Amino acid sequence: MPEKERLIEVKNPGDGSVLAIVPRGDKEEIDLAVKAAKKAFLSNEWKTFNPFSRGKLLYQAAEIIRENKEELAKLETLDVGKPLAQSAVDVEIAARYFEYYAGVADKILGETIPVEPGIIDYTVREPIGIVGHIIPWNYPLQIAARSIAVSIATGNATVLKPAEDTPLTTLKLVELMEPLGLPKGILNVVTGYGYEAGAALSSHPDINHITFTGSVETGKRVMESAAQNVVPVTLELGGKSPNIVFADCHEEQALEWVLKSIVQNAGQTCSAGSRLVIEKSIKEAFVDKLAALMEKLSIGPGIDNHDLGPVLSKKQFERIQSFINLAKQDGIRIATGGERESVEGCESGYFLQPTILDNVPASHHLAQEEIFGPVLTVTTFETEEEAIEIANGTPYGLVAGVWTENGSRAHRVASQLQCGQVFINHYGAGGGIAQPFGGYKKSGFGREKGLEALRNYTQVKNVAVKF
């Protein structure tokens, strides 16, 4: 391959300019990284790197992230396009992941099991080995941080493959951690395309676990590759998450969070509240107020801290636009938005007006498929049972919001929703550091975040001693 083709241009989605050039790693680079990780994992240096020391190192990583918060936030905004204020939140969340798992590192406990007299039976949780992480482009710093932190806390070695579109904060994070004293080879990063470096990582015979965040179709390929080596996977895939709004909701709060959950990161969030499932009697007034709020949002480069930044790329913009064109073709009312936004000085940027598609039938393609942009579909219901049926009526099951002042109804609905997280009278858009996050159905399986994530990175050994 010519030398020029061995490189990848990383572009600013706000104006199309080239931010950086990174290596186009492939099977060869992945193999080198995995070999380095395996050597480090099996070394005496790592075996004697005790849990307390791993925790201490993770606390130091959190401090370094905060010391460099301005640079990391700026890099994230330039790379992804999101408003600077949102990137600053991402930096703080990244630091909190390291703090959370620092506290866990020396508390990963086994159990004693009563078997019969004369036998002491106990379990230990051991590192699973060499873990591969394929990082998505929408929250690269957050997801790299949670991957690295839990992997180190549990005593594993790691190979990260960041998205080719947004690798800069992952690279910077690993660079910042270099002086902390991790054994060489415990933490490795390979930049490259998913179909080359990502595919090589998911199919490598020395990888012991794969964590993938991304699309359903790519997730299937990752799972198929891992299956050839009988390797477990954790898949965090797409979502079509509903905000279920009842007539007795606190309207002001519901409006605030329905808006936030669809425009955060220009709607490019797997847990975005991309469906408004609302009681028919209040729909018209609620949608009018929501449209008015959307129309007040400022749109422009994330670095200038507008309310809404650009979507990632031309490919992503055209995909979102195809859904809006389908709405126009099928006669679905566009309550607001639906057009490209012209931003002076950023004519090459991919800016899109936040959009509401009104009265979308629950079975329509627009209400069933993940759009991954600032596009909200609106579907009405008349009964609680109908609301639940609509909410559960997609191939996905990641997050849901329930808005009602009736406590019994809130719990009743939550108990019947087929999704990994339910938020009542708020919306977490993925939830906090300690809250297990993952999906039902085609939204994936396994859980990230919280103590539940430890199950992905450890394996249980049972020991029975006869006396």
Distance CA 138, CA 267 (A): 10
For residues 327 and 375, is the Cβ–Cβ distance under 8 A? no
**How many helices (DSSP H) and strands (DSSP E) are in the chain?**
16, 20
Tokens read off for 452: 């539940």
CB atoms within 10 A of CB 113: 12
Residue 236 among the catalytic residues: yes
Distance CA 438, CA 375 (A): 22
Angle between helices 168-177 and 140-153 (to 10 degrees): 40
Cα–Cα–Cα angle for 105, 106, 111, rounded to 5 degrees:
110
Distance CA 223, CA 333 (A): 39
For residues 229 and 205, is the Cβ–Cβ distance under 8 A? yes
Side by side, the strands of the sheet bearing 112-113 are 112-113, 119-127, 458-466
Using the CB atoms, write b or e for 159-198: b if 16+ within 10 Å.
bbbbbbbbbbbbbbbbebbeeeebbebbbbbbbbbbebbb
Report the Cα–Cα distance between both ends of the chain, in Å, rounded: 64
Distance CA 80, CA 82 (A): 6
Which residue, 393, 394, 390, 413, is CA-closest to 403?
A: 413
For residues 142 and 437, is the Cβ–Cβ distance under 8 A? no
Q: 112-113 and 119-127 as β-strands: parallel, antiparallel, unpaired?
A: antiparallel
Catalytic option among 99, 236, 279, 370: 236
Catalytic positions are 236
